[in-house]
Every structure is written in structure tokens, then in C-alpha cells.
Amino acid sequence: MNSMIQTVDLTKKFNDFVANDHINLDVKEQEIKCIVGENGAGKSTMMNMLYGLLQPTSGKILIRGKEVTLNSPVDAIANGIGMVHQHFKLVPSLTVYENILLGAEITQKKGGMKTPFIDQKEEIKRVEKLIQENHLELNATDKIEDISVGGRQRVEILKMLYRNVDILILDEPTAVLTPQEVDELIATLKNLKEQGKTIIVITHKLREVMELADSITVIKQGKVVGNVLKKDTSERELAQMMVGRDVVLTVNNERKQQIESEIMYKAENLTTVNDYGKEVVSDMSFEVHKGEILGIAGVEGNGQSELVKLMTGLMESTKGTVFFDGKDITNWWPEKLRKAGIGIIPEDRYAQGLCREMTVSDNCIAGYHGEKDVCKHGLFNKKTINAKRDKYIKEFDIRLGDVNGNIGNLSGGNAQKVIIARELSANPKLLIACQPTRGVDIGSIEFIHKQILKFRDAGNTVILISSELSEIMSLSDRVIVMYKGKISGEVSPKEVSMAAMGLLMAGIGKEEQDHEKER
Amino acid sequence: MKKKDSIIKGIVNSVLPVILAFAFGAIIIAAIGESPLETYGVLIRKSLLTEKGFMNTLHYASPLILTGLAIAITFKANLYNMGVEGQMLLGGFFAGITGAYLNISNPFISKLICFLVAIICGMLFALIPAILKAKCNVNEMVVTLMLNYAVSKTLEFLTTGVFKDKSAGYVATPTIKEDVMFKRFGASRMTMFFVIAMIILVIMYFVMKKSKLGYEITAIGKNPEFAEATGMNVGKKIIIMMLISGALSGIAGAGWMLSDQFKYTLTFSANPGLGWDGMLIALLGGHSPIGILIAAIFYAALKTGSDSINMYTAVPKEIVAIIQGMIILFLAVKFIGDKTSVFGRFKKAKKEDA
């Protein structure tokens, strides 16, 4: 088969950070190619280059063997490449056909002359024909706001098909879909393939990959680590390729004292739904003992973010209770949680942890700005706040250009250190650390890991949520793995193999694993 | 360095519209055959450089400072209280009614009661959109905007009916008792109300720049998710901010009534209205208390100066309205963005062309 789209040594650098490192991709005509990899592996960067949203630092993109330069999505569409984004770009108050033809409206013609009026009849006719040709379940005159999420995705696909693309890129298409809708999508995509389209799907859900793909490319840390055909591989092998890693972290995790029997944190049947009404955390129950680090692992998008939001008071549970230190803290506000002795390192540091446009010292007191030492009778004491900031800078080795400047000027690692300094200096009993080292340089990673261990060694409790498996494995005393909002297994990091972890992360539980061994 | 940069940008963004508006005004003055320099000279001399003129300017600035603050405290948190005008009218009206009917001989206590009535009116009226916003997430901009018309028409009804002063030859409420009104300083129109406005300005400076509440307002305005994640009860803060805004509007109304108006007439707040002017002032002043003070004085100077233009030159006083309109128009243009530098933008444009 001929190559439809090829990349040769495609490289993208953001300053010093190499997001894509000499990627060689080869997608054949009329095949479904799945690109798998962890978040931050560089999948989206690569696709954005193929769709003209980003320009490569070096390397070439070839379409049907001819080199192309893609400066914008317009170029990409002209070259027959269409993309369906994870977050739909539709106008909810307009109908299906209006959305599809947005920017390409058909105008009425009177006696060979163009008029500025839209020919709605013709538009509906064309869109209906398109829907029929592709065997999609859609009504051209429905409003977007009235149709399901799966339907909206079909509209996005149609938008691209109307523009006659041959290559369709889908970014995490199943992230927002229900299982039934996922099945429908798979059927739709296979049908499109039959019609002669080439499809590239970015995902990290291995089951869907096995159902969908003809060939699979695994990307890790900006590099291609494997190119396999579906018929030659298994879910197990893919999981290993995705999570297997060579970076060995050097922190020394030797326990100095025993884990106490006292239960510090306990969740019972915790359940919640997301904005789309889909259950994203289902019946999760776990306990954390005093002086223990509990790691929560899992491929991203399996409910970890929502679990963290539940635990940190940013989302309400629909069911279940949470106990901390003997108190029922279900659905408490973040303010109350911090007062009760819970330190929070949030998942997205610039969304929930820091305010870029506020100064370093303002950020140093966030969440604790009502404490007596900085705020008396509602007025701040600038001196103590600045002293606090200087103390954090010294103790946590925060490197910054201008102490009076905004926090947005700090590098990722140093900004993260501000959060860690702030949360740990409040002397909490429990630390909920979510992706504490995401996007942080190696030096800072080690420093942050040491701080977390030091905190634990002082007899405190930590819940660590991370998609970095090595981080979970080297820091945790006990690990639970999440899959589709549920716990798929609990393991001891010293005893479990990477392969077994990979399976748990792919949703294949312990019993099933044993079962398979017996066979 | 960065901080200096942002201050300069802020000043440019506020001063440039004013300069452009005056330049535009100059063209019109020249077109009707008068000298722009002379006209502007009169404007500035009579409003800022004579003692009486300057004190009059400060007098007109007093309610504007307060309505400006009332707008700024909510706008800073990305909460749009467009109802300052209505809250101010309501406060002024009931302060006037209280001042006319109250029978207390102590002038201090009677003034105090008038102000308290106005504050309560302003706060209660701001509470409606605040609760709707905080509890049901109803867009506060629409509610506050519409309530302005509701209050203005209701007050018109009350003035022409229940509270009409039968002895007056036109539509007005009864005149406030002489001793309840503020005494004027010398020959100017300035009263104690300016001092009160300044005291409140200082208090608001501390609230906005140094207090826990001010910190939270800034955080909510800049990153609501961060504000919530760090434990601020955003809904509660919205109500508090709206109450403060309503109280400030009420004080503005009461002060304007007790220092200038004597009675509620249908032109109490003039045109376009003290609340709307406050919005312009808050924007000109970049939502900072000091900026608001400067902007309010500048704006009041235009007002006092416009009468002098009428008297001493052949230019109609409406030229000032044109300048004000132009300022609003040019304010809507953000000349320098928060993040882009002027030259950076040009460079980018060049690159795109290539």
C-alpha cells in the first residue's frame, strides 16, 4: 500500500524543551493508525503540526510522497487533512447543517447573479446527502444544543468530510463518550475507512486501540518507541511499551519507622458525575494510614482528576463519605479542608494552585490568607507576608529573577516549589499531591520528591496522584490503580512488576490476570 | 522593571484616549472658527486654576469619586454592577425624603440618619442582583442594567404623586430642611461632603490594596478557579462586593442630595447620570482608588469648565459633551495590551505579511 502521510525526522522544540524528537511516522493509504502514549508524550504536538497549528522546528511532512508546508489549518484542509478536536468547536444555538457549512455557506443565485442570502434548502439537501453517504445517524435540522455528545462529534467529522479531506485526525475522540457512543464511533470510523479515508486517532485507551487500529505507533517522551501492526501485538505489549521506562529516579525511599495502624483518611463509596452527566468516579473506597504514602496510579483520564477535585473540595460527590482524622469531611470547602490540616498540591498549578498575574508574595499566602499571622482585622501585614516569602525562597531553593514580580515569570519548577513551600509550611497532617512534578525540571523533581518523603518521615500522611509511574513506584508505600473511575487493583510497589502494573492500568484486574495464566 | 513597564502602559492607556478626545474637540472648535487653545485655556483656567473654580470642581467630583469606587470594586472582580445609577438615585431620593420630613433638631444626627437611610436603600437594591447571581448564576449585568429603569420610573411616579411638593411650580419632592443640608465653604459650592468622599476613598484604598477582601477580589477577578481552589467562597464574596458597591452608591446619592440638590427632581442625576459617569471614571482610573480620584477631578473640571466656555467664548458648552463622548469611544480601544509590547506587535504583523 502507498504511504498517505509521512513525517521525516519531525522535531518540535519549545525553547529548550523537546516535545517531538525526530519523529518518523508512516501512515498508509486507507488505514486506521492509532497513536498511543501518556499525556505529555508529544502526541498532540505532533498532530498540531500535521494540522498546521504548529510549525516544526525541523523535519519534513510528506503527503502522498510530496513535501508540504502547512502554515495554518487552511493549508492542512487544502492538502486534504482534517482534524476533530477533543473539545468540539460548534455553535450550540445553530443547527447541524448551519454548523457544517459555517464559513462555507451556499448563497442563493438569481439569474446567474450571487445574492447575499443563504440558500437554506440547498444547504440542507447537501448535508442530508452527506449524512446518507456516510451512514451517519444525524438529523440535519436539529440544533446542536439538543443532540448528544456523540452526535456532536459526528457533526465535527461531517464538517471535515464536507471539506473533502482524505485524512482525518481525531484527538482523544472517546474521552467524552459513553461506552455505547464509543462503539458507534468505532463503527463510523471503520465505515469511513471503507469509503477510502485515512484515519489517525490519538488515544491512550488500549481496548479501543485494539478494536480500531490497523497499525499502532507508540510515543513516549517525544520519541517513537514502537511501530506495530495490530495483528502482531496485544494489549499487554502496548501497555508495557507505554509505561516501561528507563529513567531511574535516585531518591532513597527507606522507611525509618513503621506505618501506624491509625487510619488518617478514608473514602467510602465515593461517586461523582462530570458536566456531561457521565459517572467518572464510581464507588471508590480506600483508606490511608498515618505515616503512609498512598499512590494512585492509572492512565490519565480514568477519573483521577475528578477524584482529586472531590478530595480537595472542588467537586461534589453524588454518593459516598470521606473521613479525615475521625471527622466526616464529605464535600467540605477547600478553606475548611486546609484549616482541618490538609495540604493540597493541585493538578493544574496555574489554574488552581497559583494566580499568574499576582505577585509571588500574594501567591505565598493563597489559601492561608486568613491566618492570624498575616491578616489582622481583615488587613494584611505586608512585612510578615514578605518575610514568609523570603523564608520560602530560602528554604525551598526557589530561584526567581524579581522577588516583587508576578509568579507568571517563574519557571514551572520554581512555581511548583512555591506551592509546595506554601502547603508544607502550614504543617498539615495530610498532603494531597496531584501530579507534583508535571512539567518540572529534573533537579526540581528530585527536590520535590525529597520534600514529600521528608514530610512522610515526620509521621504525616500523603496521597499521591500521578500518571508518572516511576514517581508512584518509587515514593509510595502502597499503590491503588484506577481504571474507568474504579479501583482496578491494589499492589505493593516493591513486589509488583511493571508488566503487571501495565495490565492493571489497562483495566485488566488481578483475577483476570491469574485466570489467563492458568489457561 | 516589569512593574514600571505596566504602570507606564496603564497611564498610556488612560491618558491617550483623553488626548485624542481633546484633539478631536480641537478640530471641531477650529471648524466653527474659534481658537481651540483659547477655549481649552478657559476650560482649564476656570476649573482648576482659580480657587473658587477648583473648589467647585472638587464639589462636583465628590459623588463621582464614590460612584467610581462603587463600580471599580465590582469590575475588579469581573462582576459588572451596572446598577450604580439606580442604587444612587434610590439612596438620594430617600435621603431627600428623610431630610424633608425628619424632625430632629441636632443637624449632625439628622444628616447621619439621612445617610444611613441611603446606605440601606443602596444595599438592599444591590442585594437583588447579588443573590440572583450568587445563588442562581443569573447574569448580573442584565439585571442591574434593567433595574436602573425600574427605579428611575418608580421614583418618577413617587415624585409626581405621593411625595410631590404642591407648593413647587414643577415636579419635585419637598425641600430638605436648611439645617440638614451641608454648609458651603465660602463662596464656592464645596461642602463637608467632599471631605466625607475623601475619607471613604482612603478607606477603600486600604480595602482594595491591603485587605483580605481586596486580595480576594483581585484573585476572583484574575482567576476564579484559583480563588475557589484556595478556599474563597466566591458566591459569598459576590454578595459582599455588591453590598459594598450599593452602599457606596447610596452615600453618593445622599451626599449629592444634601450638598447640592435640596430636593429630588427628575434631573437629579443630570445627564447621563452620576452612576454612568462613575463607570467612565472607574475605567479611566484603571479601577485603582488613586486613579479614580484623578479621573473624577478631571471629569468634574470638564463640568465646571463647560459653563465658563459658554460664558467667555463663542464655543457652545456642548463641546464638552463631545469630548466626553470621544473619551468613552477611545477608552473602548485598548491601545496597549497587558502582555504585548507595542513593538512586539509590529514585529509580529511584519512577520505575518512576509
Please count the helices (runs of H) and the strands (runs of E) in chain A: 17, 24
Between A289 and A505, the higher pLDDT residue: A289
Residue B92 lies in a domain: yes
Residue B7 lies in a domain: no
Say whether A20 sits in a helix, a strand or coil.
Answer: strand
For residue A428, the model assigns a pLDDT of 93
Nearest CA-CA distance, residue B67 and chain A, Å? 24
Chain A residues whose beta carbon lies within 8 Å of the beta carbon of residue B210 = 379-380, 382
Chain B residues whose beta carbon lies within 8 Å of the beta carbon of residue A408 = none
CB contact under 8 A, B215 and A380: yes
DSSP A140-152: TTSBGGGS-HHHH
Query: Out of B2, B211, B230, whose CB is closest to A367?
Result: B230
Give the separation between CA B280 and CA B327, rounded to whole angstroms: 9
Question: Which residue range forms the structural domain that includes residue B189?
Answer: 47-337
> Is this complex scored with an ipTM above 0.85?
no
Query: Out of A335, A336, A355, whose CB is closest to B219?
Result: A355
Among the ranges given (A28-32, A247-251, A417-421, A446-450), the one the predictor scored with the smallest mean pLDDT: A247-251
Cell digits for B179?
439645617
For residue A518, the model assigns a pLDDT of 56
Give the separation between CA A52 and CA A200, rounded to whole angstroms: 15
For residue A252, the model assigns a pLDDT of 65
Q: What is the pTM of this model?
A: 0.73
For residue B4, the model assigns a pLDDT of 65
Q: pLDDT tens for residues A438-462?
A: 767 667 788 899 899 999 999 899 9
Nearest CA-CA distance, residue A46 and chain B, Å? 23
Query: B222 CB near a chain A CB, below 8 Å?
Result: yes
Query: Out of A313, A356, A380, whose CB is closest to B211?
Result: A380
- Percent of chain A whose pLDDT exceeds 90: 29
CB contact under 8 A, A355 and B211: no
R_g over Cα of chain B: 22
Chain A residues whose beta carbon lies within 8 Å of the beta carbon of residue B230 = 334-335, 352, 366-367, 369
Which residue of chain A comes nearest to B232, CA vs CA? Answer: A335
User: Under 8 Å CB-to-CB from A239, ≥6 apart: which residues?
Assistant: A206, A499, A502, A503, A505, A506
Residue B183 lies in a domain: yes
Residue B102 lies in a domain: yes
CB contact under 8 A, B231 and A357: no
Cα distances (angstroms) measured from residue A47 to each of A55, A82, A219, B68, B227: 11, 11, 12, 49, 34
Give residue limits of the domains in chain A.
3-243, 263-354+428-518
What amino acid is encoded at A113 in this protein?
M
Residue B11 lies in a domain: no
Chain A residues whose beta carbon lies within 8 Å of the beta carbon of residue B244 = none
Task: Annotate B145-162 with b (16+ C-beta within 10 A) or e (fewer).
Answer: bebbeebbeebeebbeee
For residue B266, the model assigns a pLDDT of 87
Nearest CA-CA distance, residue B148 and chain A, Å? 30
Residue B1 lies in a domain: no
Between A440 and A150, the higher pLDDT residue: A150
Cα distances (angstroms) measured from residue A405 to each of A363, A390, B1, B183: 11, 13, 9, 48
Q: pLDDT tens for residues A159-210?
A: 998 988 999 999 888 776 766 788 888 988 998 999 889 999 988 777 788 8
Query: Out of B222, B227, B231, whose CB is closest to A338?
Result: B231
Q: Which CATH class is domain A263-354+428-518?
A: alpha beta
Helix (H) or strand (E) holding A412: helix A412-425
A243 pLDDT tier (thresholds 50, 70, 90): low
| Strand pairing report for A430-434 and A461-465 | parallel
What is the average pLDDT value for chain A, to the nearest integer? 85
User: Under 8 Å CB-to-CB from A479, ≥6 apart: which residues?
Assistant: A294, A295, A296, A297, A472, A473, A490, A491, A492, A493, A496, A501
Listed by number, the residues of chain B in 231-250 with a beta carbon closer than 8 Å to a beta carbon of chain A are 231-233
* pLDDT of A357 above 90: no
CATH ID of A3-243, from 3.40.50.300, 3.90.380.10, 2.40.30.30, 3.40.50.11540: 3.40.50.300
How is residue A95 annotated by DSSP? B
For residue A31, the model assigns a pLDDT of 92
Query: Out of B210, B231, B233, whose CB is closest to A367?
Result: B231
CB contact under 8 A, A378 and B225: no
Q: Do domains A3-243 and A263-354+428-518 have the same CATH topology?
A: yes
Residue B164 lies in a domain: yes
Cα distances (angstroms) measured from residue A273 to each of A88, A268, A276, B284: 20, 16, 8, 45
* pLDDT of A395 above 60: yes
* pLDDT of A247 above 50: no
Query: Out of B213, B222, B229, whose CB is closest to A334?
Result: B229
Chain A residues whose beta carbon lies within 8 Å of the beta carbon of residue B215 = 362, 369, 380
Give the separation between CA B262 and CA A60, rounded to whole angstroms: 79
Query: A315 CB near a chain B CB, below 8 Å?
Result: no
CB contact under 8 A, B212 and A353: no
Tens digits of pLDDT across chain B (354 residues): 455 666 777 788 788 888 999 999 999 999 988 889 999 998 888 888 888 889 999 999 999 999 999 999 999 888 999 999 999 999 999 999 999 998 888 889 999 999 999 999 999 999 999 999 998 989 999 999 999 999 999 999 999 988 888 888 888 899 998 888 999 888 888 999 999 999 999 999 999 988 999 999 999 999 988 998 888 888 899 999 999 999 999 999 999 999 988 889 888 888 778 999 999 899 888 889 999 999 999 999 988 888 888 888 888 888 888 888 888 888 877 665 554 444 444 444 444 443
For residue A40, the model assigns a pLDDT of 65
How many structural domains comprise chain B?
1
Which residue of chain B comes nearest to A314, CA vs CA? Answer: B229
Contact by Cβ (8 Å): B306, B211: no
Q: Which of A48-57, A127-136, A295-304, B55-64 is modeled with the greatest confidence?
A: B55-64
Query: Out of B2, B212, B231, whose CB is closest to A380?
Result: B212
How is residue A294 annotated by DSSP? E
- Cα-flanking dihedrals φ and ψ of residue B195, to 5°? -65, -45
Residue B5 lies in a domain: no
Alpha helices in A117-148 (DSSP H): 120-133
Domain with residue B213: its CATH number is: 1.10.3470.10
Query: A353 CB near a chain B CB, below 8 Å?
Result: yes
Among the ranges given (A303-317, A405-419, A475-489, B57-71), the one the predictor scored with the smallest mean pLDDT: A405-419
Give the separation between CA A513 and CA A503, rounded to whole angstroms: 8
Cell digits for A82?
482534517
Q: pLDDT tens for residues B321-350?
A: 888 888 888 887 766 555 444 444 444 444
